[in-house]
Amino acid sequence: MPVAEMSFQYAYNSLTTSASGESNQSGGSVYGQYFFKGNGTRWHGRSIFGIVANFSGSASNSGSLYTYLFGPRFSLEWRKSHLNWHGEYKLGGAHVRVNGENSAGSEISVARNSFAWCAAGSGLDLVLAKHYVVTLLQADFLNAEVPDLVAGTSHWRADMRISGGVGFRLGQR
């Protein structure tokens, strides 16, 4: 059983803003996970509880979103198929920048730091070898406070982030 895992991923965000409606953003993510314990073989798999940290950034012409989230992760690995499903819940912060026009028609850019959380995150990994993993799909449903250029306030908005990439497992127990 590995001790830790590090993953580099491409990330696609679909953030709803008041200025541009929907902001489709491309960027990247870095994941880190520490495995606490394995529960042994059960139904040709094993359950792993761990803690995960995620740093992600993405941008487009209408703005940018940077998140730093931490939380528990539960994984179920099927040994015979080399598939690893995981679910997670993360808390942390976000830096959101929105570009657009204000009510007077001027081009402005407004940024906001806020609390953020991932209400639900799930993914599917393919274990290629002892130390190599490919994340086939990672879907996170994020919530962050997004600035409103027209009203001059901020509102809580949901963000859908889809990502995938390559991971490396470190150590052995």
Buried b (16+ CB within 10 A) or exposed e, 26-49: ebebebbbebeebeeeeeebbebe
Higher-pLDDT residue of 20, 12 = 12
Spatial contact of 149 and 100, defined as CB atoms under 8 Å apart: yes
pLDDT value, residue 150: 64
Q: Which residues pair with 74 in a beta bridge?
A: 49, 87
| Stated pTM of the model | 0.82
pLDDT tens digits, residue range 35-67? 876 545 544 345 678 899 999 998 888 888 899
> What number is the average pLDDT over the span 78-93?
87
More confident residue, 148 or 68: 68
pLDDT band at residue 103, thresholds of 50, 70 and 90?
low
Return the DSSP state at 105: S
Give the burial class of 95: count Cβ atoms within 10 A of its Cβ; 0-12 exposed, 13-18 middle, 19 or more buried: middle
- Residues 6 or more apart whose CB falls under 8 angstroms from that of 157 comprise 15, 16, 17, 143, 144, 145, 146
H-run or E-run covering 122:
strand 107-129
- State mean pLDDT over 110-129: 88
End-to-end CA distance of the chain: 5
Strand-pairing partners, residue 130, are none
pLDDT of residue 96: 87
Lowest mean pLDDT among 31-40, 131-140, 157-166: 31-40
Structural domains for the chain: 4-170 (2.40.160.20)
pLDDT at position 59, please?
86
pLDDT of residue 134: 94
pLDDT band at 84 (very low <50, low <70, confident <90, very high): confident
